[in-house]
Chains A and B, each alone.
Chain A
Amino acid sequence: MFGNTIQYGKTILDFSYLVAAILFVVGLKLLSKPESAKRGNLWAAAGMLLAIVTTLILHRDNSGNNIPLTNTIVIIAVISVGTVVGSVIARRVKMTAMPQMVSFYNATGGGASALVALMEFSNLKNTSPLVTLLGLIIGSIAFSGSMIAYGKLNGKIKDWKSPAMKYVNLLMLALIVGITAFMLVAESPIVAPEILLYSLFALSLVYGVFFVMPIGGADMPVVISLLNSFTGIAAAMAGFIYDNQAMILGGIFVGAAGTILTLLMCKAMNRSLLSVIIGAFGGGGAAAGEKEMGTIKEISLSDASVLLNYSKKVVIIPGYGLAAAQAQHVCSELDKLLTERGVEVKYAIHPVAGRMPGHMNVLLAEADVPYEKLVEMDEINPDMPNTDVAIIIGANDVVNPAAIDDPSSPIYGMPIINAREAKNIIVMKRGMGKGYAAIENSLFYHDKTRMLFGDAKDTLQKLLSEIKNL
Chain B
Amino acid sequence: MEQVLIYFSENREAIFIILLSIFLGIEVISNVPSVLHTPLMSGANAISGVIIIGGIILLGHADLSEFSLELVLGIMAVLFGTLNVAGGFVVTDRMLNMFKKNKKG
- Bound-state Cα–Cα, A261 to B46, Å: 15
A254 adjacent to B57 (CB under 8 Å): no
- Bound-state Cα–Cα, A72 to B56, Å: 9
- Bound-state Cα–Cα, A27 to B41, Å: 13
- Indicate whether A362 sits within 8 Å of B54 (C-beta atoms), given known contacts A109-B49, A257-B28, A260-B30: no
What chain B residues lie within 8 Å of A65 (beta carbons)? Answer: 61
- Bound-state Cα–Cα, A236 to B7, Å: 19
B40 adjacent to A32 (CB under 8 Å): yes
* Nearest CB in chain B: distance from A55 CB, A: 5
Q: Is the C-beta of A168 less than 8 angstroms from some C-beta in chain B?
A: no
What chain A residues lie within 8 Å of B47 (beta carbons)? Answer: 24, 27-28, 44, 48, 232, 250, 253-254
Given A25-B28, A32-B28, A116-B55, output 19 extra A-B contacts at Cβ < 8 Å: A25-B24, A32-B33, A34-B36, A45-B46, A51-B50, A59-B56, A81-B79, A82-B86, A86-B82, A87-B87, A105-B46, A109-B80, A119-B69, A235-B48, A242-B54, A251-B48, A253-B47, A260-B25, A365-B101
Q: Which residue of B lies closest to A248 (CB)?
A: B17
What chain A residues lie within 8 Å of B34 (beta carbons)? Answer: 268, 349, 351, 357-358, 376
- Indicate whether A41 sits within 8 Å of B61 (C-beta atoms), given known contacts A108-B84, A260-B26: no
* Nearest CB in chain A: distance from B26 CB, A: 5
Q: Which of A352-391 contact B (CB under 8 A)?
A: 356-359, 361-362, 365-366, 368-371, 374, 376
Q: Is the C-beta of A424 less than 8 angstroms from some C-beta in chain B?
A: no
* Nearest CB in chain B: distance from A327 CB, A: 17
- Bound-state Cα–Cα, A56 to B60, Å: 8
A38 adjacent to B96 (CB under 8 Å): yes
A98 adjacent to B91 (CB under 8 Å): yes
- Bound-state Cα–Cα, A309 to B44, Å: 44
A101 adjacent to B24 (CB under 8 Å): no
Which one of B60, B102, B105 lies within 8 Å of A75 (CB-CB)?
B60
- Indicate whether A356 sits within 8 Å of B41 (C-beta atoms), given known contacts A67-B61, A115-B77: yes
- Bound-state Cα–Cα, A249 to B72, Å: 27
What chain B residues lie within 8 Å of A316 (beta carbons)? Answer: none
A113 adjacent to B54 (CB under 8 Å): yes
Interface residues of B: mostly helix, strand, loop or mixed? helix
- Bound-state Cα–Cα, A42 to B97, Å: 12
Q: Is the C-beta of A451 less than 8 angstroms from some C-beta in chain B?
A: no
- Indicate whether A362 sits within 8 Å of B39 (C-beta atoms), given known contacts A56-B60, A252-B21: yes
- Bound-state Cα–Cα, A56 to B99, Å: 36
What chain A residues lie within 8 Å of B91 (beta carbons)? Answer: 90, 93, 98, 101-102, 105
- Bound-state Cα–Cα, A78 to B59, Å: 10
- Indicate whether A75 sits within 8 Å of B56 (C-beta atoms), given known contacts A82-B78, A252-B17, A357-B38: yes
Q: Is the C-beta of A74 less than 8 angstroms from some C-beta in chain B?
A: yes
What chain B residues lie within 8 Å of A307 (beta carbons)? Answer: none
Q: Is the C-beta of A95 less than 8 angstroms from some C-beta in chain B?
A: yes
- Bound-state Cα–Cα, A414 to B91, Å: 30
A32 adjacent to B36 (CB under 8 Å): yes
B43 adjacent to A41 (CB under 8 Å): yes
B54 adjacent to A40 (CB under 8 Å): no
Residues of A in contact with B (beta carbons under 8 Å apart): 24-25, 27-29, 31-34, 37-38, 40-42, 44-45, 48, 51-52, 55-56, 59, 61, 65, 67-68, 70-72, 74-75, 78-79, 81-83, 85-87, 89-91, 93, 95, 98-99, 101-102, 104-106, 108-109, 111-113, 115-116, 118-120, 224-225, 228, 231-232, 234-236, 238-242, 244-261, 264-265, 268, 349, 351, 356-359, 361-362, 365-366, 368-371, 374, 376
B105 adjacent to A78 (CB under 8 Å): no
- Bound-state Cα–Cα, A213 to B97, Å: 33
What chain A residues lie within 8 Å of B17 (beta carbons)? Answer: 245, 248-249, 252
Q: Which residue of B lies closest to A62 (CB)?
A: B61
* Nearest CB in chain B: distance from A346 CB, A: 15
- Indicate whether A101 sits within 8 Å of B28 (C-beta atoms), given known contacts A78-B82, A356-B37: no
- Indicate whether A32 sits within 8 Å of B31 (C-beta atoms), given known contacts A72-B60, A249-B17: yes
B24 adjacent to A79 (CB under 8 Å): no
What chain B residues lie within 8 Å of A252 (beta carbons)? Answer: 17-18, 21-22, 25
Which one of A71, A119, A241, A358 lies within 8 Å of B37 (CB-CB)?
A358
B51 adjacent to A112 (CB under 8 Å): yes
B51 adjacent to A31 (CB under 8 Å): no
A242 adjacent to B57 (CB under 8 Å): yes
Give 9 nearest A-B pairs by CB, closest first.
A82-B82, A256-B25, A357-B37, A67-B60, A86-B86, A86-B87, A109-B84, A112-B80, A90-B90
A31 adjacent to B36 (CB under 8 Å): yes
What chain A residues lie within 8 Å of B76 (beta carbons)? Answer: 111-112, 115
What chain A residues lie within 8 Å of B55 (beta carbons)? Answer: 112, 115-116
B80 adjacent to A108 (CB under 8 Å): yes
- Indicate whether A87 sits within 8 Å of B86 (C-beta atoms), given known contacts A65-B61, A250-B48: yes
* Nearest CB in chain A: distance from B95 CB, A: 5
